[in-house]
Structure 1
Amino acid sequence: MSDASPLHRPAPARPAGSGAGEARSLIASLAPLLEEWLPRQRWFAGKGRPLTGFAPVAVTELLPPGRAESPASPGLLHLLVRARQGAPGRPAGPGDDCYQLLLGAAEALPPHLAPARIGRPEHGPLRGLTVYEGLADPRLATLLLERLRVPGRLGPLTFSREADAAVPTGLAPRLIGAEQSNSSTVYGERLILKLFRRVGPGVNPDLELPRALARAGCARVPAPVAWFEAAAGEAAADGTAEPMTLGVLQPYLAGSTDGWRLALDSLARAAGTGFAAEARALGAAVGEVHLALAEALPTVVLRRPQLEHLAAAMGQRLDAAAEAVPALRPYHAALRETYALLPDLGRAGRTWRAQRIHGDLHLGQVLRTAADGRWSLIDFEGEPARPLAERRRPQPVARDVAGMLRSFDYAAAVGGTDGGADGSDWATSARTAFCEGYAAVHHDPGEDAGLLRAHEIDKAVYEVLYEARHRPDWLPVPLAAVRRLAAGPRVTGAAPA
């Protein structure tokens, strides 16, 4: 790499000096390639809006390409860039999404890395080299694991490891290709590194909550082994600049299957086999995690004013979804009525507890180990589309319960086929069993039937908007739930409100 190569230098919000200039030069040279490549990535959040430019937040050279002892060896660049979308000419700023990129750079790519190719810059520090997705290269993925093994700093990046945790050597990396909002690499079937793609200031809940659960002695969630962060490029309104969580290394639960796959397998079998036993055990596991989170982290009390705020936020999301999806409009008034009843739950001084929760709980976020049938919860990031501050806010546990109930309905709609289990009966049985399992260790969700129904509606409305934008063929699934919920309360396993 030429002398203009940006070595470990963060680019401040208002770049100044040679370091910032080098970072701008690099990003400018990569911009034509990123404008074409970035929208094709499953984790890119700005689909449907044109990219009009990029601004560097931080540029760190983890490994220079073409070292003297091995001229053909690849290099690895770590980039944090803001992607500008919308009107051309506007400079990228704090309001634009910030993405984490790991770019390999080599003179030529071997055939097995051809699908990872991004392109060859026509100018700038990487001119003459092929740039590609670095995580796809086992050599570079191994380098990242080596960085996590030894705590320390490299420019704006800070690598940390739990004091009593060990990171073995010689673990072969395997990139997982099924994720949408992040990227994960499994090392030797023993560890898994989740790399957050869309990042911002503040501790990511997928690091914060598993660490808190580990301190509380909860074994239902894999405890973080190591992680890395970056100094924020801009200060918040109060003058602080929280670091950005970039990646978390955790134990890999080999021999486990996610709940979605298990549910579909159950539905594919003859009617009558059901999923009740698994759902009941899962409900107990979720209840255990909720109890541990309430013990490990602060909770707040929900009274009538807080319920009014909750109802107003749900109503705003419903209004926005109905504006975007005409098929939702016939049910708008009935759903609004359910939200309007929420503040009345606080009459006579009754209160609820809000606490940290999973935030995006569904069958794809739980794993069952074949050897002992034990359920574990993963992916505590929350809904990636929501702001980080919102995802870190205490919320009623009813939101997680509602998310899992909606997931049972989704599985029944997708997997209920001729010759297999009846989807409606399967979902009813699974929902009931889950609530029973949860009640055995926590409390009966039916005691908060009105709150639970409001959260289930809120989740179904979110699903309607998501499916309309990304998977129109799936839109009938959440619309069926909206139709049912608009007609009247349904809290399986408990008396209606």
Structure 2
Amino acid sequence: MSEAVTRIVTAPPGLLASLDPLLREWLPRQRWFAGKGRPVTGFTLVEATELLPSTAKLGLYHLLVRAHQPLVPGHSAPEQPGDCYQLLIGVREALPPRLAPALIGHVTSGPLAGRTVYEALHDPRPAELLLEALRTQARIGGLRFDRDPHQEIRAGLVPRLVTAEQSNSSVVYGDTFILKLMRRVVPGINPDLELPLALARVGCPKVPPPTAWMVADVGRSAASAAVTGPADFADEPYVLGVLQPFVQGAADGWELALRELAKGEDFVAEARDLGRATAEVHTALARALPTVTMGHLQLQRTVEGMIERLEAAVQAVPALRPYAPGLHSAFTALGDLAAEGRTWTAQRIHGDLHLGQCLRSPAGDWWLIDFEGEPVRPLAERRMPQPAMKDVAGMLRSFDYAARSVDPPQPDWARTCRAAYCSGYAEAADRDPRTDPVLLRAYETDKAIYEVVYEARHRPDWLPVPMAAVHRLASADPT
């Protein structure tokens, strides 16, 4: 195993101040920026690490910054430090044409005055540096690069940025590895590293095992102490990125489903295999990590949360009002069972399972990826044990989305896929999700309500998709 390479670095004074006006314009335009619709009014520097000296032809800075935004757009209330973002800032005298789409701007003051800064992941050299740091287990300032000693990382793998990203960024290295870099980061144990590591320990073959990972020990190094100021969750590391094997030739589950729909083909065999793979992952997670029994009090809190989300959604989307009583009944039915003494097992789950979180290899094997959970949820909530039915409900909604994203919609296609998925799940887990209809309906209803609010805010043309599910789930027979 290679010895760790340690470097103590400090950021030049005034670095963030010089970048501030450029980042205010650039950051809100990024797909992974979570605070859209509210202006950025400033930044707090959490961590700054110089990975390549800015005095050279190519400089590189790793930054963790908190974006300040008003709570309400146009409101005069004081701003507050908000989400923390991971940035990789490249520095050059001028950008070559191939890097023009990565431009952040031209710095006019401070230590980088006269230089051009850009999104460094578009540039092969910075991407190569990250892989080499992982390979050698480097320590650079507050950044720590760790790896599984049993997996080999070859030097010199050619990087390419994956362009089809939303909440994070990914770089593929020579069709051998893929590095997922979290953009909005929080201190604490990230389930996107925690759960695949746990699954690897118990030999689960349905999830790519982590090869290496990148962490920021904020507040634990001299470099970070020089730039952080007041303690910023100093005892909690930030998980910044995870390197995993790249499943070469794999098809994204969502794209695969749409292709089959376009050809008029069914998806029954694939859905059954995916159900089996989901059950295998759930079984492995229950073996690797503790499970708990959810009794009356725990279920009551779950039901109350579902009802609160329904009430907020009805206020936000008036189209839900006629369906509110029927949707409410999906949650009270679950509460009634809990009051009668019914219990359920809760465990660690994927947390945001849908077709886009699954890969099908050329050999026909399904892999589950992206265990981060719903990024809008607090980290502690994403790490809580929950009924595995939540994942099942998410996948059933995904089949419905695929079937209704085509013209004309194909509801029968969705029904056969949903049935096949549940049958495959039962084959591997010895329990069919359909035998617990009250719990399944509650979680599917909760998911559909979330979808209605999301589509109403971001994609109004898609609103009929979850509204069709609302119509079904609010009925007396929501099958």
Q: Report the TM range for the smaller structure's normalisation.
A: over 0.9
How far the C-alpha of 1:350 sits from its partner, in A, is 2.6
Judged with a 3 Å threshold, the aligned counterparts in structure 2 of structure 1 residues 388 and 150 are, in CA distance, closer, same or farther, namely same
Within the candidate set 393, 399, 404, 2:384 is matched to 393
Deviations 1:433-483 (A, max 9, x none): 000000111111022210110100111111111111211111111111111
Judged with a 3 Å threshold, the aligned counterparts in structure 2 of structure 1 residues 240 and 154 are, in CA distance, closer, same or farther, namely closer
1:167 and 2:159 correspond:
no
1:488 and 2:459 correspond:
no
How far the C-alpha of 1:89 sits from its partner, in A, is 9.0
For 1:15, the equivalent position in structure 2 comes to none
Partner SS, residue 89 of structure 2: strand
One-letter amino acid matched to 1:380 = F
Judged with a 3 Å threshold, the aligned counterparts in structure 2 of structure 1 residues 346 and 91 are, in CA distance, closer, same or farther, namely closer
Partner SS, residue 357 of structure 1: coil
CA distance in 2, matches of 1:27, 1:104: 14
1:473 and 2:455 correspond:
no
CA distance in 1, matches of 2:31, 2:340: 49
Matches within 5 A, 1:324-335: 324-335=316-327
For 2:9, the equivalent position in structure 1 comes to 8
1:261 and 2:261 correspond:
no
1:352 and 2:341 correspond:
no
One-letter amino acid matched to 2:276 = A
Judged with a 3 Å threshold, the aligned counterparts in structure 2 of structure 1 residues 349 and 241 are, in CA distance, closer, same or farther, namely same
CA distance in 1, matches of 2:231, 2:140: 27
Partner SS, residue 487 of structure 1: coil
For 1:16, the equivalent position in structure 2 comes to none
- Pairwise CA RMSD of aligned residues? 2.0
For 1:376, the equivalent position in structure 2 comes to 367
Matches within 5 A, 1:95-174: 96-174=82-160
1:450 and 2:426 correspond:
no
CA distance in 2, matches of 1:213, 1:199: 23
How far the C-alpha of 1:347 sits from its partner, in A, is 4.6
Within the candidate set 220, 236, 244, 2:206 is matched to 220
Name stretches of at least 5 consecutive residues in structure 1 with no aligned partner.
Answer: 1-6, 10-18, 68-72, 492-497
How far the C-alpha of 1:125 sits from its partner, in A, is 1.1
Contact 2:177–2:245 under 8 Å retained in 1: yes
One-letter amino acid matched to 2:401 = Y
How far the C-alpha of 1:236 sits from its partner, in A, is 12
For 1:243, the equivalent position in structure 2 comes to 237
Contact 1:268–1:416 under 8 Å retained in 2: no
Q: Which moved more, 1:109-118 or 1:349-358?
A: 349-358
Contact 1:279–1:430 under 8 Å retained in 2: yes
For 2:53, the equivalent position in structure 1 comes to 64
CA distance in 1, matches of 2:435, 2:231: 41
For 1:47, the equivalent position in structure 2 comes to 36
Contact 2:218–2:234 under 8 Å retained in 1: no
Contact 1:54–1:92 under 8 Å retained in 2: no
How far the C-alpha of 1:327 sits from its partner, in A, is 1.5
How far the C-alpha of 1:99 sits from its partner, in A, is 0.4
Contact 2:276–2:425 under 8 Å retained in 1: yes
For 2:3, the equivalent position in structure 1 comes to none
Judged with a 3 Å threshold, the aligned counterparts in structure 2 of structure 1 residues 154 and 467 are, in CA distance, closer, same or farther, namely same
Q: Which runs of 4+ in 1 moved over 6 A?
A: 234-240
Contact 2:300–2:338 under 8 Å retained in 1: no
CA distance in 1, matches of 2:18, 2:34: 23
Judged with a 3 Å threshold, the aligned counterparts in structure 2 of structure 1 residues 276 and 222 are, in CA distance, closer, same or farther, namely same
CA distance in 1, matches of 2:383, 2:473: 28
Aligned residues: 459
Contact 1:267–1:416 under 8 Å retained in 2: no
Partner SS, residue 490 of structure 1: coil
Judged with a 3 Å threshold, the aligned counterparts in structure 2 of structure 1 residues 411 and 291 are, in CA distance, closer, same or farther, namely same
Judged with a 3 Å threshold, the aligned counterparts in structure 2 of structure 1 residues 416 and 396 are, in CA distance, closer, same or farther, namely farther
One-letter amino acid matched to 2:424 = G
Contact 1:406–1:460 under 8 Å retained in 2: yes
Partner SS, residue 323 of structure 2: helix
Deviations 1:361-399 (A, max 9, x none): 0000101112x2111100111111111111111111110
How far the C-alpha of 1:415 sits from its partner, in A, is 2.6
Contact 2:46–2:232 under 8 Å retained in 1: no
Partner SS, residue 83 of structure 1: strand
1:302 and 2:294 correspond:
yes
Within the candidate set 52, 58, 63, 1:74 is matched to 58
Q: Which moved more, 1:83-92 or 1:34-43?
A: 83-92
How far the C-alpha of 1:203 sits from its partner, in A, is 1.4
Identity across the alignment (%)? 60
Partner SS, residue 112 of structure 2: coil
Name stretches of at least 5 consecutive residues in structure 2 with no aligned partner.
Answer: 1-7, 220-227
1:425 and 2:412 correspond:
yes
Q: Which moved more, 1:151-160 or 1:458-467?
A: 151-160
Q: Scaled by the length of structure 2, what TM-score is found?
A: 0.92
For 1:343, the equivalent position in structure 2 comes to 335
How far the C-alpha of 1:231 sits from its partner, in A, is 2.0
For 2:225, the equivalent position in structure 1 comes to none
Within the candidate set 201, 207, 213, 2:187 is matched to 201
Q: Scaled by the length of structure 1, what TM-score is found?
A: 0.89
How far the C-alpha of 1:152 sits from its partner, in A, is 3.5
CA distance in 1, matches of 2:209, 2:76: 44
Partner SS, residue 223 of structure 1: coil
CA distance in 2, matches of 1:239, 1:210: 25
Partner SS, residue 436 of structure 2: helix
